[in-house]
Structure 1
Amino acid sequence: MKQSEVLIVGAGPSGLVLALWLKAFGVGVRIVDAASGPGTTSRALAVQARTLELYRQLDLAQAVVDAGHPIEFFNLWAEGKHRARIPLGAIGAGLTPYPFFFIYPQDRHEQLLVERLAAAGLEVERSTTLAGFEERGDLVEARLVDGNGREEVCAARYLIGCDGAHSKVRNVMGVGFPGGTYRQVFYVADIEGDSPALNGELNIDLDEADLLAVFATAPQGRGRLVGTVRDDRAEQAETLQFSDVSQRAIDNLMISVRMVNWFSTYRVHHRVAEHFRRGRAFLVGDAGHIHSPAGGQGMNTGIGDAINLAWKLAAVLHKQAPEELLDSYEAERLPFAQRLVHTTDRAFSFLTADGPVAEIVRTGIVPRLMPLVGKLPAAREFLFRTISQTLVHYRTAPLNAGHAGKVHGGDRLPWVQFDGGDNFAPLPRLGWQVHVYGEVGAELATWCALHGVALRRYDWNEACAEAGLARDAVYLLRPDTYVGLAAGTPSVALLDDYLRANGLRL
């Protein structure tokens, strides 16, 4: 019987990121996947700013930025007529080191993660499926079947299901997956060709009955088309070819297709698992939540799940925290998934609504209103914060406490620039850290040294105040860089109380 501290089932982006972070924390990991190799189709495209911020902690962000493609403009078409070109550019300037909307196709994304994982000494075990598992005491015994049909048993302290919407892990856990399926059938095609809409920008064409989106995957001549399968052809969705559904794209957006690299039809689902944890088994990514692609949130949410869970598993396995810490994973990520599904559902329903009123709004009012809204600084900031996931917080979860200035425990730390750097610079190794913006007292410095916590002091400036930070306050950052405790001064007693209340030994 093989043994591992953590067994990950599924090697999509969520599973790969989970494995990378666990390896960085020194946890023994095994990762298996039913597929024979990494994905070869682009599938998820968007990499959000919060994901890049988290990637920076393991020196991944720049590799993604160097290989991807920022979206500088949003073009709105209505019934084949170009109606607006809205600049995006650095739409989140001052909020994050990654103030743009960004495209990095999932096939290349996965390959980068696989390479980084291999460099860390861990290979994905391909063509390996999970047949079932049982908890026995403080272990999970999982039955794995390789590509030749040979079965083995792997014992692990924890089992993580990163195995997608049809998750075997979730089924064995017996966790419900309530939700529904939208009536529309969609197609997706990765193409090469010529068109005013293959210009390296985001193009959306609103029609009477549906929509067509073109997401640039290169500065020129390459993109992904997402559109609705119309009329009775939806009944034969499984047998359709690109030529069966492409006429609207060719007519409205003047697309001349040289090559179709990938084509598929699909239905959009909206579901959230009833629980993300049961005993020693956990759900991450699409195994726990699926929703419409509106806003490019799916893959990024799964990556956020993975990083949230990784440091907690490591803390428990290294005996730095009690088993109860793992309950905070569901407490933090499940409510966010539920809110996200609700939000994307409303956006998706608006974009695909039927009826004469919906048609007037979609093809008449929206094309006139969007350019005006796109010029409003407050609207642009709200749009960026929402889509970029920099608004995600865990204020109401029990692991987080206190507030100082406008920053509460559970918040993402506000980003602030200083001469020669910023306050998001990664630690030499993942771990807890204390931030002070102003002066550090001797008692706090001694406390940090005693607990092995990195202490970072930044000179107070106006940007700190604008970000909502409090002068001389103490911000204890968790290993995922969310604020665990925000405290005024004197603060050492509050730090001790926080560790004691959560059973943490740093």
Structure 2
Amino acid sequence: MDPVIVVGAGPVGLTLALALARQEVPCVVLDEGPGKDEPRASRTVVLHEETTALIERLTGAPLDRIGAHWAGWRSVRRKQVMREVFFDGSEPVPLHIAQHELTGALRAALAGEPLVKIAVESRLDGMEQESSGVTAHTRGPKGTWWRGSYLVGCDGPRSTVRKLQDIRFPGRTAVERHAVAALRTELPWYNEALLHRLPPWRMSGPSAGEVTARPLPDGVWRLDWLLPPGKDLVTPELLLTRIRETLAGWSGGTTPPYELLDTGVHTVHHRLARRWRADRVFLAGDAAHLLGSLGTHGLDEGLRDADNLAWKLALAWHHGPHEALLDSYQTERRAIVAARLRAADQALPLLRGGGGLRSYVPGSARGHDSLLTDGHLGHGQLGAPGAYADSPLAPPPLEGEVPVRTSPGSSVIDVRVTAEDGTFVRLRDRLGRGALLVVLIAPGTGVWERRHWVSAGIMPQLAAAVSALPHHAELLVAESYPGAAAHTVLLVRPDGHLVSALGGVRPADLYTAAEAAMGGPVKVQAEAGASAGSR
């Protein structure tokens, strides 16, 4: 079987290659660059807790060594603090990290991965596909043809893969523009992100009256100034003046010492590819979607694309085409991103329209602040990770279903579980291996040796039901799970999304749910694949 070809060696492409390798699928990554990334302190990303856990699981290294978990979030309007959030461990904490640090961690993990080949200075310029695979041609010092089973375009906003497949990429250009600076300095607050709207000091040059400060490790901060609509140039002199005015405004009128590390202008576009799959070719990350206004996290969604697609491609690579399963990638991920784009586009006129009666409505400023805070912190419609509630992989209504804190289609909560070898691990540590997870909620098992309960009660019956499932599954046991009663059985997808929660051992329901999560009966999928190939 030919390897999967991944076009693009940014965070999404490297994450996908690493996720496939962890499921024993060989990959070739076509990197048009020299194999290393230029350090740019002003190019940073904010990751949700779940996405951070994904990268840490794949790389085997904690990201807090190279990124910063915020101690809190503060939103200020003029001189008034509108909202303060302090992260005490009871809720997910965003991670702020320079993009080159993230790709460096992924490259380091791939350096020791025998199943992945990174072809540097290899720019895609042509491709052909047929029912049995994909052939790609690259130009460069070592221009050649590459043969793959599937090909995934993770090659950014100007995706060559998308253009070669003639996939439209409609949307809006320059939805927002920000002047950006990364600098090392000491601010009046420690390790807290800040959103300051309508600051009381006068800003030189074009300004929309909003600045964001987000901490990085080693005393470094990224500052973003929202620019008004238009194409006004941000000159170096103007940006230096803006830095001094802002730092002085936050420090009581005197500009503190600072070291300027990097600058740039960040332009946000909103676009969504019409299709994310063309037979054996897929799109992911910025090649498939662009978003990022109002604090929404575009790269975070791209990494979720990779997580969603990896286990489905791995299943198809090992066991043959599962057309409904592969189609579900586009259905699930495109719906999530489309909803995020709609939410941002609906909020933009309200938050950026300025003036009018809205500015005099009591409480409107606080409501606007809540919307922006949601986007930056990963809450609400603007920022919260989406759920695959209407997924084609969702099972039909099951007689034995029971409610738990996690709704079907949402990501499961990370709890301690006992693995089949008797060791205690975190639930998220068992994800990404291509197996379904079956979790029995059994209070008391944590204090008894495994040999005393593994052959008692309902465990033998559940173990037999798991062994009879149509796809490999791992049986885990947890002391508790939020909202779950004793003897609840959770079925979890390889990417950590809940398929169903059942009250007790129900072999028929468990089988139905597992079969649906894998895209339906294999025989039906094989017939569908043959039909698609004949077209």
1:126-275 superposed matches below 5 A: 126-146=120-140, 148=141, 150-182=142-174, 184-196=176-188, 199-207=190-198, 209-218=208-217, 220=219, 222-229=220-227, 234-237=231-234, 242-243=239-240, 245-246=242-243, 248-254=245-251, 255-256=255-256, 258-275=258-275
Q: Deviations over 1:107-160 (max 9, x none)?
A: 1111111101112233532222110212133111111112x3x53111111110
Q: CA deviation at 1:399?
A: 0.8
1:1-20 superposed matches below 5 A: 4-20=2-18
Partner residue in 1 for 2:427: 424
1:76-91 superposed matches below 5 A: 76-79=75-78, 81=79, 83=81, 86-90=84-88
Q: CA deviation at 1:236?
A: 3.0
Q: CA deviation at 1:90?
A: 2.9
Q: CA deviation at 1:422?
A: 7.0
Residues in 1 aligned to 2:215 and 2:394: alpha-carbon distance in whole angstroms: 40
Residues in 2 aligned to 1:387 and 1:422: alpha-carbon distance in whole angstroms: 32
1:446 has 2:446 as partner: no
Q: Deviations over 1:79-116 (max 9, x none)?
A: 4x3636713213644xxxxx322222211111111101
Report if the CA contact (8 A) 1:292-1:348 is conserved.
no
Out of 495, 499, 506, the position equivalent to 1:480 is 495
Report if the CA contact (8 A) 2:409-2:498 is conserved.
yes
Report if the CA contact (8 A) 2:176-2:269 is conserved.
no
Instruction: Name whichever of 263-272 and 175-184 sits farther off.
Output: 175-184
Inter-CA distance 128–409: structure 2 relative to 1 (3 Å threshold): same
Q: CA deviation at 1:361?
A: 7.5
Q: Deviations over 1:51-87 (max 9, x none)?
A: 1333454364x511343212112233334x3636713
One-letter amino acid matched to 2:409: G
Q: TM-score, normalised by structure 1?
A: 0.83
| 3-state SS in 1 of match to 2:232 | helix
Residues in 2 aligned to 1:183 and 1:384: alpha-carbon distance in whole angstroms: 20
Inter-CA distance 410–190: structure 2 relative to 1 (3 Å threshold): same
Q: CA RMSD in A?
A: 3.5
Inter-CA distance 482–39: structure 2 relative to 1 (3 Å threshold): farther
Residues in 2 aligned to 1:384 and 1:322: alpha-carbon distance in whole angstroms: 33
Partner residue in 1 for 2:316: 316
Report if the CA contact (8 A) 1:56-1:426 is conserved.
no
Residues in 2 aligned to 1:417 and 1:271: alpha-carbon distance in whole angstroms: 39
One-letter amino acid matched to 2:316: V
Higher RCO structure (Cα 8 Å, ≥6 apart): 1
One-letter amino acid matched to 2:182: D
Out of 454, 458, 463, the position equivalent to 2:478 is 458
Instruction: Name whichever of 121-130 and 300-309 sits farther off.
Output: 121-130
Give unpaired runs (5+ residues) of structure 1: 94-98
1:105 has 2:98 as partner: yes
| 3-state SS in 2 of match to 1:397 | coil
Report if the CA contact (8 A) 2:137-2:144 is conserved.
yes
1:436 has 2:440 as partner: yes
Inter-CA distance 415–225: structure 2 relative to 1 (3 Å threshold): same
Inter-CA distance 189–325: structure 2 relative to 1 (3 Å threshold): same
Q: CA deviation at 1:206?
A: 0.9
Instruction: Name whichever of 303-312 and 340-349 sits farther off.
Output: 340-349
Inter-CA distance 109–347: structure 2 relative to 1 (3 Å threshold): farther
Residues in 1 aligned to 2:424 and 2:237: alpha-carbon distance in whole angstroms: 52
Residues in 2 aligned to 1:320 and 1:487: alpha-carbon distance in whole angstroms: 30
| 3-state SS in 2 of match to 1:58 | helix
Inter-CA distance 497–326: structure 2 relative to 1 (3 Å threshold): same
One-letter amino acid matched to 2:149: R
Report if the CA contact (8 A) 2:408-2:499 is conserved.
yes
Partner residue in 1 for 2:285: 285
Inter-CA distance 143–239: structure 2 relative to 1 (3 Å threshold): farther
| 3-state SS in 2 of match to 1:263 | strand
| 3-state SS in 2 of match to 1:480 | coil
Residues in 1 aligned to 2:501 and 2:388: alpha-carbon distance in whole angstroms: 13
Q: Deviations over 1:237-292 (max 9, x none)?
A: 58886336546424533554633222112322111111111111111111111112
Report if the CA contact (8 A) 1:185-1:228 is conserved.
yes
Partner residue in 1 for 2:73: 74
Aligned length: 479
Q: CA deviation at 1:202?
A: 0.9
Inter-CA distance 387–263: structure 2 relative to 1 (3 Å threshold): farther
Inter-CA distance 475–215: structure 2 relative to 1 (3 Å threshold): same
Q: CA deviation at 1:215?
A: 0.9
Report if the CA contact (8 A) 2:351-2:368 is conserved.
no
Report if the CA contact (8 A) 2:378-2:385 is conserved.
no
Report if the CA contact (8 A) 1:191-1:257 is conserved.
no
Residues in 1 aligned to 2:367 and 2:272: alpha-carbon distance in whole angstroms: 36
One-letter amino acid matched to 1:151: G
1:496 has 2:494 as partner: no
Q: CA deviation at 1:181?
A: 2.1
Report if the CA contact (8 A) 1:413-1:482 is conserved.
yes
Q: CA deviation at 1:185?
A: 3.2
Inter-CA distance 309–230: structure 2 relative to 1 (3 Å threshold): closer
One-letter amino acid matched to 1:119: G
Instruction: Name whichever of 438-447 and 330-339 sits farther off.
Output: 438-447
Partner residue in 2 for 1:96: none
Partner residue in 1 for 2:306: 306
Report if the CA contact (8 A) 2:70-2:87 is conserved.
yes
Report if the CA contact (8 A) 1:13-1:113 is conserved.
yes
